[in-house]
Amino acid sequence: MTTFPATFPDGFLWGGATAANQFEGAYLADGKLLSIQDVMPHGITAPPTQEPTPDNLKLEGIDYYHRYADDIALFAELGFSVFRFSIAWSRIFPRGDEEEPNEAGLAFYDRVLDECEKHGITPLVTISHYETPLHLAKTYDGWVDRRMIGFYERYARTLFERYGSRVKYWLTFNEINAVLHEPLMAGGIWTPKDELSAQDLYQAIHHELVASASVTKIAHDLDPELKVGCMIIATPAYPLTPDPRDVLAAKHFEEANYAFGDVHCRGEYPGYLMRSLAEQGVELDITDSDRETLKNTVDFVSFSYYMSLCQTVDPTVPAGAGNILGGVPNPTLESSEWGWQIDPVGLRVVLNDYWQRWGKPLFIVENGLGAKDELVEVDGVNTVLDDYRIDYLREHLIQAREAVRDGVDLLGYTWWGPIDVVSASTAQLSKRYGFIYVDRNDDGSGSLERYKKKSFDYYRSVIDSNGAALD
Ligand code: BGP
């Protein structure tokens, strides 16, 4: 009988994922100007402020801008072969619409890449991770304006030309489907979401999709070795009951997210989306040149996976599960302290589903557990006994390995927030994901010292054994 290995494939990339705005700090250093995050002190839980306010933890982050060398050394100690980070657009083009980039901003990421190289860590770079320059948001209403495509192309070309010899893996937009629900965070759209028309929202999405395809072509033209991926929130939707209408509701929910991958992987709009747009009275401005551009499909599909959710047509069932995408709770699952339902099997479902749908290599670029940690002293050393995080990691990786055994082509796995960072949704530091604890609290107090949690050694053993230590 055929047996399946306990390890992941040779060359599997192990690591962690971050985003500039959630940990760099130094929000006005070396020519950087404001990004939308600098005026979002409460994440998506409250509207943006007019100016940065002192309670915005992202302004200082965890001071990675000055501590990156030590932090990357810790990642190396964990055994990382890949490190996902984003480039802050507002460091490179501080307003976003300049002709020339900011050299000091570019130089910072040269230094980051030097450290990665020193430790033999492959970089995986997100070009745009929820951090549109504020000027583009306020002046152009973000991606609603077609001119954003040109600004983004110039930005991405600058990155490919500068770093392309050192960075092979690129992601165009973090969680691009989040724009459906959070147009400011994911689309730099300044118009409040309850005032935003479906027409403008979908036109903005179209511009992002064209921009993503366009820079995929720019990357390939510069160097065919560059690998460009899309990045979507993967949230499988289960019907709450066997009622066929619940099944269809779950399917429609999934289609809204599939659409982003379908365009990225197939190079054209799917029929179900065209119907849905027509029914919403949306008429997209799609030029012939847009259609040509969209044919530049991605090399791989990356995604974040935190939870699944349920859908139902029964309006009496209260919503509740989920973070950005909504849905109703699944009575069979437990939730994190922030109400995100924990579903390791859903990861296997997603991996098989995406592989069968798109046939492109997959990359899990976010997965993790946000929890309240307690710093304790064990044998004179500060640590966190985070067995709950170890369990989450182990259970999800076991399911990922099952998917690999099912035949899924999986390139790698990057845990979200290997070091504690500021939360994207709530802007708290107390929602911790790291294997490395950072002494900084929601009120801004703390020494910023780093401490290894119990999960640090566990993840290292998993990486060292290429997954065999999961058993
Ligand atoms: C994703 C984002 C990340 C990250 C993660 C965890 O949606 O891409 O930026 O923050 O979720 O979410 P949160 O920080 O809200 O707990």
- How remote is the CA of residue 318 from the centroid of ligand 1, in Å? 24
- As averages over each run of 10 residues, the pLDDT of the chain (471 residues) reads 89 98 98 98 96 98 98 98 98 98 98 98 98 98 98 98 98 97 97 98 98 98 98 96 97 94 98 95 98 98 96 90 76 93 97 98 98 98 98 98 97 98 97 98 98 98 98 94
The tens digit of pLDDT for each residue in 157-181 reads: 999 999 999 999 999 999 999 999 9
Does the Cβ of 430 fall within 6 Å of ligand 1? Answer: no
The tens digit of pLDDT for each residue in 23-57 reads: 999 999 999 999 999 999 999 999 999 999 999 99
What pLDDT, on a 0 to 100 scale, did the predictor assign at position 108?
98
The tens digit of pLDDT for each residue in 224-281 reads: 999 999 999 999 999 999 999 999 999 999 999 999 999 999 999 999 999 999 999 9
What pLDDT, on a 0 to 100 scale, did the predictor assign at position 321?
55
- How remote is the CA of residue 458 from the centroid of ligand 1, in Å? 23
* Ligand 1 atom 12 nearest Cα: 424
**366: β partners:** 304
The tens digit of pLDDT for each residue in 321-330 reads: 556 777 899 9
User: Which residues participate in catalysis according to the annotation?
Assistant: 175, 366
Does the Cβ of 431 fall within 6 Å of ligand 1? Answer: yes
The domain defined by 13-470 carries CATH number 3.30.420.40? no
- The domain locations on the chain are 13-470
- Asked whether the beta carbons of 293 and 210 are under 8 A apart, the reply is yes
Atom index in ligand 1 nearest the CA of residue 19 equals 9
- Write down the number of H helices and E strands in the chain: 14, 14
Choice from 128, 366, 373, 433 to test ligand 1 binding pocket (greatest atom count within 8 A of CB): 366
* Ligand 1 atom 10 nearest Cα: 424
Buried b / exposed e over 269-299, threshold 16 CB at 10 Å, is: beeebeebbeeeebeeeeeeebeebbebbbb
- Asked whether the beta carbons of 149 and 106 are under 8 A apart, the reply is no
Does the Cβ of 304 fall within 6 Å of ligand 1? Answer: yes
Question: Concatenated DSSP letters for 130-168?
Answer: S--BHHHHHHH-GGGSTHHHHHHHHHHHHHHHHHTTT--
Q: How many CA atoms lie within 13 A of 370 on its CB side?
A: 22
What pLDDT, on a 0 to 100 scale, did the predictor assign at position 308?
95
Sort 194 into a burial class: Cβ within 10 Å, 0-12 / 13-18 / 19+: exposed
Does the Cβ of 322 fall within 6 Å of ligand 1? Answer: no
- How remote is the CA of residue 85 from the centroid of ligand 1, in Å? 13
What pLDDT, on a 0 to 100 scale, did the predictor assign at position 323?
60
Does the Cβ of 174 fall within 6 Å of ligand 1? Answer: yes
Largest CA distance in the chain: 67
